């Protein structure tokens, strides 16, 4: 249906929850307006919102009641109070969730996240936080040119969402009215990709929102079949996984449209997103305070910590995201004044620790395989400090033997003396249960190398 009809039906038929959708729309406009405020205005809003969250947490959340006992919290000192708090982790919440829940929370709903760790965490959101999550996703999509009513195709893989779409008639009706279609990213066989292509050709989405690996897989299929997709008309939004430069180049070439990177999580929605300048990801500063724990966060990746300003039911304050990130320097030419993430480097859990204590990000291995002929996809697995496996999914006839031997030699040299890299050719590489794909994995526990230095590659 046309965007106008979609907007009309959504306003008349879907907004039955005491004006929920109207409030989401108002918040979406507030997020867009905030991006263009002056630095001082944004700072005042941020401090006031942070002070309110900290004061509520100090009064109603057992964990923070202990930490903030006797602390005077005001807008003018809120950021300093925040800096003195220890980070909170998923493991802490899982071990004693009740200590992180507000005793004043009302009308809460439960949700779960497994993410790339595979360890589910139950968390709570109140109605205001739910509206904030929905508005943040609209905000992120709008940076790619989306407007309410535009057709969106989701190439996604959350089993909760996909199963709900199949079983819940009300949800399916909502997606129909909202001009939204869902395609399961976990099942990506050639037969399924063919059916997706036909369905997408009929639907003609303005925007595709997809796992990075899933849209890359669809692009590879279309390229192999020499098909020129007439969709999407606006852009592709990549999320939930690291978008490599190789993926971006292939997808943009096949679909003949720009790719926008987006970063978020299930706990809080869209945290940062690319604009049309493609010079990093603008942080949703109205809802988040982000920190990169690094001596030089502009050049050396560090753990990304989040303070989510919208959820009072279960406040996430200096929450370890589990990801490594870099900050971007300077102001974006687009006119938005918000901070930017240069990029998300990857999951902390996917960092490989070498025998000499260095940490290697997965993107280092990705760079070794940029543009290698005959390699469709790879997975680099650390079995021990001395043994590694490089799994290659071939494309066409696969990579020449001399090429794989050169890759092996470079990796073994970089990883240090005594290291053995075994290369295996696999027809298919496995995804996580969520449908996401991991480029690197380590069987070792990182904790035993807690003091190791984090670098972009071997030194």
Parse the chain into domains and list their residue ranges. 3-344, 351-455
Asked if the model's pLDDT at residue 100 lies above 90, the reply is yes
Structure tokens at 52: 């309110």
- Rounded to an integer, the average pLDDT of 224-231 is 96
pLDDT at position 448 = 38
Rg of the chain over Cα atoms, rounded to whole angstroms, equals 23
The reported pTM is: 0.79
For the chain, how many residues are written? 459
449-453: average pLDDT: 33
Span 123-154, pLDDT tens digits = 999 999 999 999 999 999 999 999 999 999 99
Q: What is the mean pLDDT of residues 53-68?
A: 98
Between CA 277 and CA 178 the distance in angstroms is 28
pLDDT surpasses 60 at 450: no
pLDDT at residue 79 is higher than 90: yes
pLDDT at 330: 94
CATH placement of domain 351-455: 3.30.300.30
Pair 24, 15: CB distance under 8 Å: no
| 232 preceded by a cis bond (ω within 30 of 0) | yes
The yes-or-no verdict on residue 380 having pLDDT over 90 is: no
Mean pLDDT of the chain: 86
For residue 394, give the nearest of 413, 417, 378 by alpha carbon: 378
Sheet (strand 375-382) strand order: 420-425, 387-394, 375-382, 440-442
- The pLDDT assigned to 381 comes to 87
Examine the pLDDT at 457 and tell me if it is beyond 50.
no
φ/ψ of 220, rounded to 5, equals -65, -40
The whole-angstrom separation of Cα 433 and Cα 436 is 7
Same fold yes or no, 3-344 and 351-455: no
Indicate the pLDDT class of residue 17, thresholds 50, 70 and 90. low
Straight-line distance from the first to the last Cα atom of the chain, in angstroms, rounded to the nearest whole number: 55
Given 3.20.20.80, 3.40.50.970, 3.40.50.12780, 3.10.20.90, which CATH number is that of 3-344? 3.40.50.12780
E-strand ranges in 366-415 read 375-382, 387-394
């Amino acid at each position: 249906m046309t965007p106008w009809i979609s907007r009309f039906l959504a306003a008349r038929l879907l907004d039955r929850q005491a004006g929920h959708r109207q409030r989401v729309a108002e918040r979406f406009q507030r997020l867009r307006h905030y991006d263009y405020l002056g630095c001082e205005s944004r700072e005042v809003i941020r401090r006031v919102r942070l002070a309110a969250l900290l004061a509520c947490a100090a009064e109603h959340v057992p964990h923070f009641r202990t930490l903030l006992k006797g602390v005077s919290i005001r807008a003018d000192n809120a950021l300093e109070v925040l800096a003195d708090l220890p980070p909170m982790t998923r493991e802490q919440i899982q071990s004693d969730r009740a200590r992180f829940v507000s005793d004043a929370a009302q009308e809460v709903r439960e949700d779960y996240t497994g993410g790339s760790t595979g360890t589910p965490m139950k968390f709570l959101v109140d109605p205001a936080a739910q509206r904030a999550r929905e508005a943040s996703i609209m905000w992120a999509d709008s940076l790619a040119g989306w407007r309410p009513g535009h057709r969106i195709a989701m190439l996604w893989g959350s089993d909760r969402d996909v199963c709900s779409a199949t079983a819940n008639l009300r949800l399916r009706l909502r997606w129909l009215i909202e001009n939204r279609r869902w395609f399961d990213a976990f099942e990506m066989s050639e037969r399924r990709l063919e059916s997706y292509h036909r369905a997408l050709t009929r639907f003609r989405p303005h925007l595709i929102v997809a796992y990075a690996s899933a849209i890359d897989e669809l692009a590879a299929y279309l390229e192999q079949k020499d098909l020129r997709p007439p969709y999407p008309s606006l852009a592709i939004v990549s999320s939930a996984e690291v978008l490599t430069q190789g993926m971006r180049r292939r997808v943009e070439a096949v679909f003949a449209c720009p790719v926008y990177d987006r970063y978020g999580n299930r706990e809080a929605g869209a945290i940062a997103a690319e604009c049309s300048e493609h010079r990093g990801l603008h942080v949703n500063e109205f809802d988040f305070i982000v920190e990169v724990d690094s001596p030089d966060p502009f050049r050396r990746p560090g753990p990304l910590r989040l303070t989510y300003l919208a959820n009072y039911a279960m406040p996430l304050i200096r929450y370890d995201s589990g990801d490594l990130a870099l900050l971007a320097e300077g102001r974006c030419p687009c006119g938005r004044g918000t901070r930017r993430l240069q990029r998300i480097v990857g999951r902390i859990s996917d960092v490989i620790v070498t025998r000499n204590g260095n940490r290697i990000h997965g993107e280092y291995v990705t760079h070794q395989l940029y543009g290698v002929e005959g390699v469709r996809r790879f997975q680099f697995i650390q079995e021990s400090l001395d043994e590694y496996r490089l799994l290659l999914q071939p494309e066409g006839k696969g990579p020449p033997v001399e090429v794989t031997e050169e890759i092996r030699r470079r990796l073994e040299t970089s990883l240090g003396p005594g290291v053995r890299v075994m290369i295996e050719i696999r027809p298919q590489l496995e995804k996580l249960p969520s449908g996401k794909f991991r480029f690197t994995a380590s069987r070792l526990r990182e904790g035993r190398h807690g003091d190791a230095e984090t670098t972009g590659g071997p030194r």
